[in-house]
Amino acid sequence: MSENSQPLSFYDLPNVIKSIVPVGGGVLMGMESVYNSKLGIGGAYGSWGESYSNSRLPSFVEQRLGVPLNTDDVLNLSELGFDFRQHIPDLDNAQHLELELEVGARLLKKAMETLGWDASEVAGVLIGMSGPVADDYVTRIAQMAGVPESALKVSVHKACDGSMGALHLTLNPLLSQSGQVNIAEQLRGKKVLVGGIEGLSRFTCGARDKNALQLFGNGMGVIGVIPGETMKFLVGKSFENYDEDGLLAVRMYYPHSNPDPAAKSLIDVIQEKADHIRISGLMNQPKDGASIEMAGLMGMVKLFVRTGVQVVEDVYKEYHALMDKLGQSGQSIKLGIVHHANFKINTLKAKHLSKLGIEFPMPWLLNDFGNVSAASNMIAFLRKLQEIQPGDHILFDGFGAGTYYDVMAVSMG
């Protein structure tokens, strides 16, 4: 599960560059850069806040809740694939905004520096996030990073599926609906930054759910791609399956104009400005106004595994049909980059897929982050990037509360 016999905090890893963000007495931030020159793809990932080991976490959760945890309340987090996660101290709203704007801008700057891109060359910035700290967050961090005002900014709010929804929109022109901007066509052949930025420590400040407070933490990851050149779309599927039972209820910190779950689509596409599009997913929200509420760990398994396996199976079949059509029947998926909800969910998905004859590596790579929602796929991809070769076919598997799924196969380089 963890690649280290003695797990290390993210900040203690050898290539992580640490700095202090001067907010609320100073918040520790760490980033690592990755670049694969053979592919022309790279980016940066990281976290911010104090790193809490599993042994230290209960006291932090008790402080957040204001009540002690019972022994039965403490999760076996190592068994779930998590040894550390990062949390921030209590801040006011203005400090939260200042902190996350600075974190996001630094991440974009580091990704561009790693890629060797000038900010003026960037044509698009697409960021997935579950609970944005501001409606215009993507526009503001892009501006702070020097990205031109004319660049397309896309905010994707589909919970943990946000970054994969963003990548799918970047690569697949078939996702565009009539009357909407075709994001993939507009960005094809141009330099684009895609990722997920999740300030979940701030988000869970408004939670009373003991499991959520133990599972989630801060994380971020952004990659730079040139759609159709450094990363080519092969096949994919975007799927919605409304969580009628509210097994994972998440407060929507973003506008959504259609509250009817019986509607044809749960996705709201809003053209905020000429250069800013908001993709918002309808959520089943906690009734008490809390930020998040979970129906236990088995509820998450029920929510994500059955439908998630079906979506992956559909894409896998479509992929092999395409390979047969192209006369490349011997080609196969080299690697699966799967959202890290928890290790048991991913293991169970792999087991069900294996029963269907679908097998490819799905490594667990985020023991030092916790569940970081839309950031997890991007961090996992960057941690495997140096091993990927030109021509390799990679499957991205995103899924999130709501419920939303984006699964796609791509060709690299």
Burial 304-331 (b: 16+ CB within 10 A, else e): bbebbbbbbbbbbebbbeebeeeeeeeb
DSSP 371: B
Say if CB 80 and CB 343 are below 8 A apart.
Answer: yes
Taking the C-alpha atoms of residue 205 and residue 88, their distance in angstroms, rounded to an integer, is 10
For residue 263, what pLDDT is reported?
Answer: 80
CB 398 within 8 A of CB 339: yes
CA 33 and chain centroid, separation: 17
Instruction: Note down pLDDT in tens along the chain; length 413 residues.
Output: 444 467 999 999 999 999 999 999 999 999 999 999 999 999 999 999 999 999 999 999 999 999 999 999 999 999 999 999 999 999 999 999 999 999 999 999 999 999 999 999 999 999 999 999 999 999 999 999 999 999 999 999 999 999 999 999 999 999 988 788 999 999 999 999 999 999 999 999 989 999 999 999 999 999 999 999 999 999 999 999 999 889 999 999 998 987 777 788 899 999 988 999 999 999 999 988 999 999 888 888 888 999 999 999 999 999 999 999 999 999 999 999 999 999 999 999 999 999 999 999 999 999 999 999 999 999 999 999 999 999 999 999 999 999 999 999 999 99
Contact 233, 183 (CB under 8 A): no
Give residue 147's pLDDT.
98
Q: How far apart are alpha carbons 63 and 58 in whole angstroms?
A: 9
pTM of the predicted model, to two decimals? 0.97
Picking from 339, 282, 246, 342, the residue whose alpha carbon sits closest to that of residue 158 is: 282
pLDDT score, position 168: 98
Show the domains of the chain with their CATH numbers: 10-412 (3.40.47.10)
